[in-house]
Amino acid sequence: MSATQLALGTVGFGSFEFTGGGTLINLVAATTNALNGALLARRPDHYKNFTVIGILLMALLGGIGGGVSRDVLVGRVPAALTNSSYITLCLIAGVIGHLLAYDKGQLFREGLFQFVTSFALPWYAIVGAQTGVEVGLPVLGSLALAVVGPTAGRFLIDVSCGVPPKQFVRGEWFVAIAALTGAVWIVLD
């Protein structure tokens, strides 16, 4: 993108790609993490009287926070900033999460939150490990990316909500699960 394009206002909205080069897996992970972020922001332990915009921003943090962190660590322009489908799908998931939070059925909401967490974590861990291998990182570097990808969004949400990050709470296993998932993927690759 050149200064001329910016000055003339010809810069578009980026691409809207849904497949190719792992894009679908990344989009599934980002969208489910965005839904998770919106649901998390509405939980009593995180809720701080957020506006609708606040809930949508938490969905964006949850959805693209890990992928952006991962891509920046390996020196790439984050895909979420060049492919508009990431932000679009994360905002849609945020709206869904916001609407679910206002419906009755706390058990359903908590069950959905746990399911979405269990579903998204391995996806992002695999994408992180795969990214590390693609850019030529050693095994430990690839494992670090397998942990950063699925956990950075949650870290950002927890810090934004003023609660201790889940990564630092005793008895939480999601960092170990991300590392194990990444290790299994690296061995199988």
Q: Does the pLDDT of residue 84 top 60, yes or no?
A: yes
Q: Does the pLDDT of residue 11 top 50, yes or no?
A: no
| Residue 2 within a domain | no
| Domains identified in the chain, total number | 1
| Region 148-160 average pLDDT | 92
Mean pLDDT for all residues in the chain: 84
| Residue 6 within a domain | no
pLDDT confidence of residue 117: 76
Instruction: Name the residue range of residue 163's domain.
Output: 18-188
| Residue 68 within a domain | yes
| Residue 7 within a domain | no
| Residue 118 within a domain | yes
Look at residues 60, 29, 88 and name the one whose alpha carbon lies nearest to residue 160: 60
| Residue 8 within a domain | no
- Distance between CA atoms of 121 and 115, rounded to whole angstroms? 10
Give 18's DSSP letter: -
| Type of residue numbered 151 | T
Integer angstrom CA distances of residue 55 from 9, 25, 60, 157: 30, 24, 9, 10
90 pLDDT band (50/70/90 cuts)?
very high
CA angle centred on 41, ends 61 and 116, rounded to 5°: 75
Q: pTM for the full model?
A: 0.80
| Residue 1 within a domain | no
Residue 111: how many other CB atoms lie within 10 Å: 11
| Residue 3 within a domain | no
Look at residues 56, 61, 73, 57 and name the one whose alpha carbon lies nearest to residue 127: 73
46 pLDDT band (50/70/90 cuts)?
confident
